[in-house]
Amino acid sequence: MLAADWSLYDLLALGLGYLLGSIPFGLILTRLAGHGDVRDIGSGNIGATNVLRTGNKKLAALTLILDALKGTAAVLIGARFGQDAAILGGLGAFLGHLFPVWLGFRGGKGVATYIGVLLGLYWPGAIAFCVTWLVVAAVARYSSLAALVASAVVPCLLWWIGETRMALLFLVFTVLLFWRHADNIGRLLRGEEGRIGAKKT
């Protein structure tokens, strides 16, 4: 889909998707709960994993759900104007989450929003992502590795079933997700990444 082929509705879907995606739920919820600025703790990230470092599991779960749903919402709103608008809405939401203008373009790592966009565009793919995540997490005990492997599986799955445009979209998402997880990848390679359920010493 070339930019020259985009309609006004496509552009609106992209813009609205970006605005939805850029809502920093982790930051908003932690402040409302009296935990201050989540960017001042842990990794400094606004996503659910860092919100969990406040010790509030319910708040982290709510952040995860809302970060996913904003991606789904962007797709569903765009879908009212066609498949192209749905895809662009999802693209906008993912970019908005990673690069929110309100936070100096420093957002989250994108896993929840990735799942949310996938849920809106092709829900079996979201199930495949979650199943892959659970299997890898159960075997390796690394949350970051599970997310990376699951995100690599999705474009291959979409390509295999003939959804070429969505496969390319999620390939872009996967590359960006790997880039945002560069520190995690480094720690995995050094054997320093924290395992799921491991007690801090």
Q: Give pLDDT, residue 201.
A: 42
The two structure tokens encoding residue 101: 């203008």
The pTM of the full predicted model, rounded to 2 decimals, is 0.91
Whole-number percent of the chain with pLDDT over 70: 96
For residue 39, what pLDDT band results from cuts at 50, 70 and 90?
A: confident
